[in-house]
Structure 1
Amino acid sequence: MTQQPRDLDPYTSPKTFYGAELRRLREAAGLSQSQLGERVFCSGTYIGQFEAAVRRPQPDVSKSLDEALDTGRHLQRLCKLARRSKHPDYFADAAELEKLATTISEYAPMLIPGLLQTEAYARALTRAAQTFAPDEEVEDRVAIRMERKRLLEAPTAPEVWAVIHEAALRIPVGGQAVMREQLRVLHHVGRDHHRVVLQVLPSEAGAAAFLNSTAIQMTFADAPPVTYTESAYTGQLIEEPALVAQYQKAYDLIRAAALSPEASLALIASAVEDQTP
């Protein structure tokens, strides 16, 4: 069961303050994490993650906690502060969960996965998506994307399995030079990073599940798996077990239809040559 460290400073951030307040209110009510979890239909581990400021508070859970602890709207108000993020709101929860995941399995139909993007590629994508945004805003978004990549450098980096549609290798995002460098980096990561496996779904594979949207499966050491799906300007974190299982089956079928890792690296290498003048 996750326990909040005794030396956690509640004034470090709104999220740590929320966690400290939740723990204070729970202990005042004479409840263990598991007992409180039962009252709001979640696990004691889940409560512990909120108290330890590991996971962002959820509005619906905060409402249930206020009701269970008879605290009015106290935790709901703190939740609004604690959920502020540098990431877009629709992705912020998924970004937090990436840091906790033991495995990340992604299907990317049209773009190189965010964790594997180069700075120039990310900048070209961001500029295309935010045509009228000031340069400063674009650079901020690119910096945040590059910060996410540090996850792969951590000693506790998750295992990453990415299936990329061949179409994502052929679209010259940012022009040939930018795309060539992106593909070279992708090939290098797939060949040399011991915790990353790449596969390419070839165009001749035809129709595939969730062909028009990114889908990311995440598993954890002490929590149920989740799925995150994303399309232009929006995304959704899915935690309902039956739907997560359905996405996992679809991902397994896509992975089975993809080229082997070795053949995928050969295709990526040939795509590099296609981007060479």
Structure 2
Amino acid sequence: MANGSRQAAWEFFGAELKRRREDAGFTQVELGTRVFVSGGYIGQFEQAIRKPQLDVAQRIDSALQTDGIFERLCKKLIDDRRYADYFAQAAELEALATKICDFAPALVPGLLQTPVYARSVTLAMNPFASDEYIEDKVSGRMERQRVLNDATRPLYWVVLHEHVLRIPVGRPVEMAQQLEHVAALARERTVLVQVLPYKVGAYAVMNGTLRLMEFADAPPTAYTEAVYSGNLLDDPAVVKRATAAYDLIRAAALPPEASLALIDAAAEDFRRCESTS
């Protein structure tokens, strides 16, 4: 489903939610109380500013006695084979964010990957998949990157663990090109990049990726990801703790210029490795 038609479908979801809520005689606050979100969230769902998570859609069906219509709509809209099921909603929010902060402990984040790197990562995780499946995943990742080319692109701040610079993905020359791509985006001021070096030792988030997203008209969210699972978190207390963890990581990371120097050095190491292989 194209982005335009997907947004139109979410607008239908919102309009239908408003109609069913009003037919039931609930205010936004009253419905929000019944489904354990704020009335403001209900308003954002109705305006298609924010998309409800599946469990919220299920509670809306229960509160409004709508026989599962919102659950079915939600499942249909987040069923995009370009993205893993657990990441689809985070991908939707990514396009609406005014600021994104990523911590990557092992791999270059999707928004910064080259097609060759993305293909190598996807194939490594899906060694028996068809070429069509691999290309769908790579295409989806490249499409996401358009958000960084928009005039209204979000502020994008990335902290890479030094693992990301040292783990070879693909051939050495391809890894060098990936690191050079990250450095080029940083020098163009499309993204602010820092590296968390090995010498730091233990760090605030030890069990997976962390992403923070801020929005113009909605509360911030946090997204964490581990092995074949992801969690989109919008509880204010949890987001506050995640933000504090990110701040600790950022404080321990190298400054931007030193980070770029380390990225350049790692790319050069891969170049030399390629020439001697």
- Asked if Structure 1 and Structure 2 have the same fold, meaning a TM-score greater than 0.5 normalized by the shorter chain, the answer is yes
Q: 2:263 aligns with which of 265, 268, 272?
A: 268
Q: Which amino acid aligns with 2:84?
A: P
CA distance in 2, matches of 1:68, 1:15: 20
Q: Which has the higher helix share?
A: 2
| Aligned residue in 2 for 1:133 | 129
| Aligned residue in 2 for 1:226 | 221
| Residue 88 (structure 1) shift | 1.2
Which 10-residue stretch deviates more, 178-187 or 47-56? 47-56
Gaps of 5+ in 2: 273-277
Instruction: Assess, with a 3 A threshold, how the Cα gap between structure 1 residues 123 and 10 changes in structure 2: closer, same or farther.
Output: closer
Contact preservation (8 Å) 1:57, 1:83: no
Contact preservation (8 Å) 2:6, 2:77: no
Percent of counterpart pairs with the same letter? 53
SS at match of 1:248: helix
For residues 90-145 of structure 1, the C-alpha deviation after alignment (integer angstroms, 9 at most, x for no partner) is 00111111112121111111111111111111011111111111111101100000
Q: Which amino acid aligns with 2:88?
A: A
Counterpart check, 1:245 vs 2:240: yes
CA distance in 2, matches of 1:19, 1:126: 34
Counterpart check, 1:150 vs 2:143: no
Q: 1:183 aligns with which of 179, 193, 215?
A: 179
Contact preservation (8 Å) 2:50, 2:218: no
| Aligned residue in 1 for 2:89 | 93
CA distance in 1, matches of 2:105, 2:210: 9
SS at match of 1:223: coil
Return structure 1 stretches of 4+ with deviation > 4 angstroms: 9-14
| Aligned residue in 2 for 1:167 | 163
CA distance in 1, matches of 2:6, 2:89: 21
Aligned alpha-carbon RMSD (Å):
2.3
CA distance in 1, matches of 2:105, 2:242: 15
TM-score by length of 2: 0.88
User: Size of the alignment, in residue pairs?
Assistant: 268
Which 10-residue stretch deviates more, 53-62 or 236-245? 53-62
TM-score by length of 1: 0.88
